[in-house]
C-alpha cells in the first residue's frame, strides 16, 4: 500500500530519541509522502529542516491558535522570505481552539485575528490552508465563509464534523477533510452519519503524530505506520478496501498539496 501522511509533527521533542529510526520504519510500511506541519515559529524552521533532510517530507509554515498571542504577520513573512520554498506545501496549522477553560473573549479575538491574517497570507502566496478547529465550529465556519472563496484550497484537519462544517465542506469544491485516530475512537452516532455524507473524493488521512494514536494504540507515541489502521477503519465505514482508501486519499492529498 502506498500511503500519503497529510499531517505529522516529526520535529516534536517526543521523537528526539527515535526520529531517524521511526522515519525509516514508516517508509517500510508504505508511507511515501509526509507533510510535516508547523505550529509556531520554531517548528516552521524545524519542519523545513526535516524536508531538507528527507526527500519524502514536505513542510508548512504557520502559527497554531495556542500560539496566537505571539503571532505577528511580519515575523511569518520574514520566515517565508528566508526559506527555500520548493517543498513548502501549505500554511498551517492555523485556526481556532476554544477547548481550554481559560479561553475568554479576549483570547478568542486574538485567535481570530491571527487566523484571519494567516488566511490572507496564504492567499497572497497562493498556498493551501490547513485548519485546526476545536470547540469553535461556528466561528470557524463564519471566518472561512467571509475570508476565503471558491479558489482557495482548505483542509479541515482532525475533522470533527458539525452541521456547519459539513455544510461548508460540501459547498466548496476545493475543501477537503482529514480523518485520523479520531475515527477509531468511540464516537457519537452523528459522527458516523456525517462521515457517510462526505464522499471519498473529499477525504485524506493523517495521524497528527506524535499525538492522537488510534485504537488499540492509545497511550503510545503515534507514528505514520498507524495510517494502515486508519485506512482500514475508513474502508470499513465506506464499504471499500483499505487499498482503495490508500489510493484515493493519496491522489486527493497530492492534488491538495500540489505535489
In the bound state with Zn ion, the residue whose beta carbon lies nearer, of 31 and 242, is 31
Query: Least Å distance between CB 243 and Zn ion?
Result: 26
Query: Least Å distance between CB 130 and Zn ion?
Result: 8
Find the residue with minimal CB distance to Zn ion.
Answer: 208
3-class DSSP assignment, residue 57: strand
3-class DSSP assignment, residue 2: coil
Query: Least Å distance between CB 45 and Zn ion?
Result: 17
Query: Least Å distance between CB 150 and Zn ion?
Result: 26
The enclosing H or E element of 53 equals: helix 41-53
In the bound state with Zn ion, the residue whose beta carbon lies nearer, of 97 and 208, is 208
In the bound state with Zn ion, the residue whose beta carbon lies nearer, of 161 and 180, is 180
Residues in the chain, total: 259
**Long-range contacts of the stretch 212-215 (C-beta < 8 A, 24+):** 212/158, 212/180, 212/181, 212/182, 213/181, 214/180, 214/181, 214/183, 214/184, 214/185, 215/181, 215/184, 215/185
C-alpha cell at 246: 490508500
Contact between residue 1 and residue 243 where contact means Cβ atoms under 8 Å apart: yes
> For residue 209, what is the DSSP state?
B
In the bound state with Zn ion, the residue whose beta carbon lies nearer, of 152 and 208, is 208
Applying CB under 5 A, the residues found at the interface with Zn ion are: 208
In the bound state with Zn ion, the residue whose beta carbon lies nearer, of 38 and 242, is 38
Query: Least Å distance between CB 62 and Zn ion?
Result: 10
Amino acid at each position: 500500500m502506498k500511503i500519503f501522511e497529510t499531517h505529522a509533527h516529526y520535529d516534536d521533542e517526543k521523537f528526539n530519541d527515535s526520529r531517524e529510526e521511526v522515519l525509516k520504519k514508516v517508509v517500510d510500511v508504505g508511507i511515501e509522502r509526509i507533510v510535516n506541519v508547523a505550529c509556531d515559529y520554531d517548528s516552521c524552521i524545524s519542519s523545513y529542516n526535516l524536508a531538507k533532510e528527507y526527500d519524502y517530507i514536505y513542510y508548512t509554515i504557520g502559527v497554531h491558535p495556542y500560539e496566537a498571542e505571539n503571532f505577528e504577520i511580519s515575523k511569518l513573512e520574514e520566515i517565508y522570505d528566508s526559506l527555500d520554498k520548493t517543498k513548502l506545501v501549505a500554511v498551517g496549522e492555523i485556526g481556532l481552539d476554544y477547548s481550554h477553560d481559560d479561553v475568554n473573549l479576549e483570547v478568542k479575538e486574538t485567535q481570530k485575528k491571527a487566523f484571519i491574517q494567516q488566511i490572507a497570507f496564504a492567499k497572497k502566496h497562493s498556498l493551501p490552508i490547513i485548519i485546526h478547529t476545536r470547540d469553535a465550529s461556528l466561528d470557524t465556519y463564519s471566518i472561512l465563509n467571509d475570508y476565503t472563496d471558491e479558489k482557495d484550497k482548505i483542509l479541515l484537519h482532525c475533522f470533527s464534523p458539525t452541521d456547519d462544517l459539513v455544510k461548508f465542506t460540501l459547498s466548496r469544491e476545493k475543501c477537503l477533510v482529514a480523518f485520523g485516530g479520531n475515527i477509531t475512537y468511540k464516537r457519537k452516532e452523528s459522527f458516523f452519519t456525517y462521515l457517510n455524507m462526505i464522499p471519498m473524493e473529499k477525504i485524506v488521512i493523517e495521524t497528527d503524530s506524535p499525538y492522537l494514536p488510534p485504537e488499540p494504540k492509545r497511550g503510545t507515541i503515534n507514528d505514520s505506520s498507524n495510517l494502515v489502521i486508519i485506512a482500514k477503519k475508513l474502508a470499513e465505514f465506506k464499504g471499500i478496501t483499505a487499498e482503495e482508501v490508500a489510493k484515493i486519499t493519496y491522489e486527493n492529498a497530492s492534488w491538495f498539496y500540489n505535489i
